[in-house]
Amino acid sequence: MRDYIRRLLIAAIMALCVSLLFLGGKQTEASVEDSKEIKAGWIWPTDGVVSDTYGTRHGTHKGIDIAGSLNSPVVAVEDGIVGKSYYSKTYGNVIFIKHPNNFVTVYAHLNNRLVNEGQVIKQGDRIGTMGRTGESTGVHLHFESHQIEWTYDKKNAIDPERLLGNAEVGVAVKGGMANTESLVASTNVPGDKAQYIVQAGDTLTSIAMKSNLTVEKLKEVNQLKSDLIMPEQVLVIQK
C-alpha cells in the first residue's frame, strides 16, 4: 500500500513538472508572438523615407531600407554594446549592436563606421553615417533586428516594424525620434507622405499645430465629418 502511494506521488510530481514546463514555454512564446508590436522603446536609426520593407524579394529581405542623403547620421536604436564593426562584401560597412533586452540590430551599407567592437553605447549615439557600400544600388540604410543573435541564415530575424512602428514604403522617419513623434516631425520634408497615430489627449487643433496644417485641411485630407478623433486612429498629415 505504501509503495502504491509513493508511486502515485511520483506520478503527480512528474505531471506537475511537465505542466509547468509546458506553461512556461507557452508564456515566453506568447509574449513575443501574440503582440503585433513589441514595446522596446526604440528610436528610428536615421532620417529618410522607407524604401523597402521586411520580407520582400521573395522573403530574402530580412530588414527594412531607409533611403536618405549621403552621410546622414546613423544612431543606435537602443542602449547596447557593439558586437561587430567591419566591412563585408554584401553589407558593406556594417555595425552589429547587442542590446540588453536580447535583440541584435544591424546597420548596413554605411559610408563611415564611428564605433569599435566592444564599445558601450547609449540610445541615440551616432554610430556611423549613411552610405552605399557593399551590395547597394543607392544611398540607404539597411536595418535588421534579430532576437537573441544574428545567424548566417537570419532565422532569428524579426520585422523591425514590430519594434519601430509603422514602416510602410513612403513613410518619412526622423532619426532619434520614436515613431509617432518622427512622423509629425517629418511633415516639412517636401513630397513626403506621413501619418500620425492619435494619442490620448490629442485634439485636431493640437495635431494641426504640430503638423503645420489647419484643422480644415486636416479634416479635408482625412475626410473627417466631425472634430471627434479616437486614440490609435491613423491620420494622414501630408501637406
Binding interface with Zn ion (CB under 5 A) = 65, 142
Question: Minimal distance in Å, beta carbon 153 to Zn ion?
Answer: 17
Nearer to Zn ion, 116 or 137 (CB): 137
Nearer to Zn ion, 98 or 132 (CB): 132
Question: Minimal distance in Å, beta carbon 189 to Zn ion?
Answer: 21
d(CA 128, CA 107): 9
d(CA 226, CA 122): 44
Nearer to Zn ion, 88 or 119 (CB): 88
Residue whose beta carbon is closest to Zn ion = 142
Question: Minimal distance in Å, beta carbon 154 to Zn ion?
Answer: 12
Nearer to Zn ion, 65 or 202 (CB): 65
DSSP at 97: E
Question: Minimal distance in Å, beta carbon 162 to Zn ion?
Answer: 17
Cell of 142: 539597411
Q: Are 117 and 152 in contact (CB under 8 A)?
A: no
Angle value at C-alpha 187, between 186 and 193, nearest 5 degrees = 95
d(CA 230, CA 203): 9
Question: Minimal distance in Å, beta carbon 197 to Zn ion?
Answer: 25
Nearer to Zn ion, 140 or 219 (CB): 140
Cell of 60: 530574402
Which positions ≥6 away from 64 have C-beta within 8 Å?
Answer: 50, 52, 53, 54, 142, 143, 159, 160, 161, 167
